[in-house]
Amino acid sequence: SRQWELVSRPSGWPAPEDFRLVEVELAPLAEGEVRVANEFVSVDPYMRGRMNDAKSYVAPFGLGEALTGGAVGRVVASHSDALAVGDLVSHDRGWRDVAQGPAAGFRRVEPVEGLPSSVHLGVLGMTSMTAWVGLLVVARMQPGDTVFVSGAAGAVGSVAGQIARLRGAGRVVGSAGSAEKVALLTERYGFDAGFNYRDGPVVEQLAAAAPEGIDVYFDNVGGDHLEAAIEVFNRGGRAALCGAISVYNATEPPPGPRNLSQLVGKGLLLQGFIVSWYAAEHGAAFAAEVGGWLRSGELTYDETVVPGLDRTVDAFLGMLRGENTGKMVVAV
Ligand code: NDP
């Protein structure tokens, strides 16, 4: 089988030479283990952080070791009573074509008729749960709120904006990095307004799109977007700090928002979160609500599918550059 390994730790933007695809021999299955043929592997922004040798909420990738990440596949051999050949499973041994290990590391998921199994990485998986938890549990969005979502045409953002609308937000504003993506925000995902952050200062474009101010900010980007949100927040505003992709490849510590003193007079609450902290408590409610909206057609989603395990690094770098709309996945 084949797996991707990290050869060197990137400084700034990762280069293809930082990775290599290697052929490995699989050990015979031990008692209690399963072997899974991956159908889709996920590429995610957080993986960039794991390529650094830095203390974080998740350990760094090891040099010369297989990379890991979200994946979905079919059990092709089983030495466990917990999983049978043919079961569809979601797990964290991505970046390879065949995964194997103790059955407890693989979670059985129900195939959804008419939809590819990749939905378990995106709209029914981790990125969608991030949107749901961030908006409703962390930022505690209330009906009538004006909500701003950055990275709004991506996997998390496109779902966050739709959940805001479906949960009764008064106005939903999104930002993205191209005219095509901004058009999708209003035409496909039901945002009330959108802007291209490359067209001019974010703070000016946000103030124009949300003339009455914002109450909730779902932050996927950090940097100038966070500073703009603080500037435009109404009193009592809440931000869910989900990610800061604008600084993931920075080689110097990025400057903080220059207007943090506004937190005092506006009574703002800015809270970071990691989705996995909330899975046990809120996973079932998330799956029921978002699954329902998906079946009823009230919620839509996009995926950008890159074919071939050998193109996983291209997909990862492409995602960091904004080549995806919705969830970026690799079809193995
Ligand atoms: P996306 O599908 O949104 O893909 C990343 C997108 O980021 C690109 O498509 C690009 O879109 C945008 N981007 C890249 N560089 C910049 C930049 N300099 N400024 C603004 N936008 C940029 O990825 P995900 O939906 O998977 O993740 C979105 C965010 O959520 C990330 O910050 C990620 O780290 C975070 N996250 C956090 C989790 C948590 O538990 N806290 C869990 C999952 C994700 P464009 O063309 O618009 O620039």
- Which residues, 6+ apart, have CB-to-CB distance to 166 below 8 Å? 293, 298, 299
148 inside domain: yes
> What pLDDT was estimated at residue 143?
98
101 and 212 together in one domain = no
Closest alpha carbon to 159 in 298, 256, 53: 298
297 inside domain: no
84 and 183 together in one domain = no
User: How far is the C-alpha of 139 from the C-alpha of 219, rounded, in Å?
Assistant: 10
68 and 133 together in one domain = no
85 and 190 together in one domain = no
283 inside domain: no
Cα 25 to averaged position of ligand 1 atoms, centre (Å): 35
Cα 134 to averaged position of ligand 1 atoms, centre (Å): 14
Which CATH number goes with the domain that contains 312? Answer: 3.90.180.10
A 10 A CB-CB count for 258 gives 10
**Secondary structure (3-state) at 238:** strand
Domain boundary among 239, 260, 276: 276
Assess whether the C-beta atom of 42 lies below 6 angstroms from ligand 1: no
What's the pLDDT band for 192 if we cut at 50, 70, 90?
very high
What's the pLDDT band for 183 if we cut at 50, 70, 90?
very high
> What pLDDT was estimated at residue 255?
86
pLDDT digits (tens, 9 = 90+) for 12-65: 999 999 999 999 999 999 999 999 999 999 999 999 999 999 999 999 999 999
Cα 137 to averaged position of ligand 1 atoms, centre (Å): 20
pLDDT digits (tens, 9 = 90+) for 221-264: 999 999 999 999 999 999 999 999 999 999 998 888 999 999 99
Closest C-alpha residue for ligand 1 atom 18: 246
Closest C-alpha residue for ligand 1 atom 29: 220
Domain range for 194: 126-276
Residue 115 has pLDDT above 90, yes or no: yes
User: How far is the C-alpha of 108 from the C-alpha of 102, rounded, in Å?
Assistant: 13
Residue 212 has pLDDT above 90, yes or no: yes
Assess whether the C-beta atom of 161 lies below 6 angstroms from ligand 1: no
> What pLDDT was estimated at residue 114?
94
Cα 267 to averaged position of ligand 1 atoms, centre (Å): 27
Per the structure, how many domains does the chain have? 2
267 and 131 together in one domain = yes
Distance (Å) of CA 257 to CA 134, 205, 247:
21, 17, 13
pLDDT (mean) for 315-329: 98
Closest C-alpha residue for ligand 1 atom 13: 322
> What pLDDT was estimated at residue 253?
87
pTM for this prediction: 0.98
Measured from the Cα of 153, ligand 1's closest atom is: 47
Cα 244 to averaged position of ligand 1 atoms, centre (Å): 7
